[in-house]
Amino acid sequence: MSKTSIVLLALLVIVAAVALRPGHAADDQVPQVGQQAPGFTLPSQDGTQISLDSFKGKWVVLYFYPKDMTSGCTLEAHNFQRDQAKYDKMNAVILGVSVDTPDSHKQFCTKEGLTFRLLADSDKKVTPEYGSLGTMMGMKMAKRNTFLIDPTGKITKVWIGVDPSHHSEEVLAELSVAEKS
C-alpha cells in the first residue's frame, strides 16, 4: 500500500467514525437529579396510553433504548425481565421507551417474553425532553439512557450511555440505597 492510500484510508475511517457517532442537539438537555421528571403519555405495546403521572407513589425506572429486536436492546430487556420480581418487591415499575411503533413493541415483547411496559415515542416528542434522542446512520433513535424517578416524580439518578449487560444490577443497587434513605 502506498503512503497516499494509507492516508486516504485513515481519512475514510475518521469520516466514517464521525458519521456513525450518535448525534445530539444542543437543546437536548438531560434532566438532572432533583428535577421533576418531564410528564408524558405514550402508547404501550398493547395500545393503551400510559402516563408517568399514573405511577405516583411508585419508583419508576424509565429507560430509553435504540431499537426493538437488536442484540444490545434485547439483552437489556431480558435483564430487566429477569429481575422483574426484585423491582416489584421494591415498589418499582420498569418503562422502556424507544421511537419504534406500538406494533414493533408488541412483536418484541411476544418474541422475547417481556411483561413490563414498552412505550412508543414514534412522534419523537418525549425522548428529546429527556435528552435522549440521537442520530445513528442517519436515523433518529433513542440513546441508551436511564432515569430513576422517585415516588414523588423527582429524578434521583441518571445513567447516560449505559452498558446493557449489567445495567439492571446497577439500577437495583441504586434502588436499594435510595429505599434506605
List the catalytic residues.
73
- 117: three-class secondary structure by DSSP: strand
Give dist(CA 59, CA 37) in Å, integer: 12
What are the C-alpha distances in Å from 42 to residues 89, 118, 124, 125? 25, 9, 11, 10
14 in the Ramachandran plot: left (φ > 0), alpha (ψ -120 to 50) or beta?
alpha
Give dist(CA 178, CA 60) in Å, integer: 12
Give dist(CA 131, CA 28) in Å, integer: 4
Task: Please list the residues that pair with 133 across neighbouring strands.
Answer: 142
- Spatial CA neighbour of 147 closest among 170, 124, 116, 122: 170
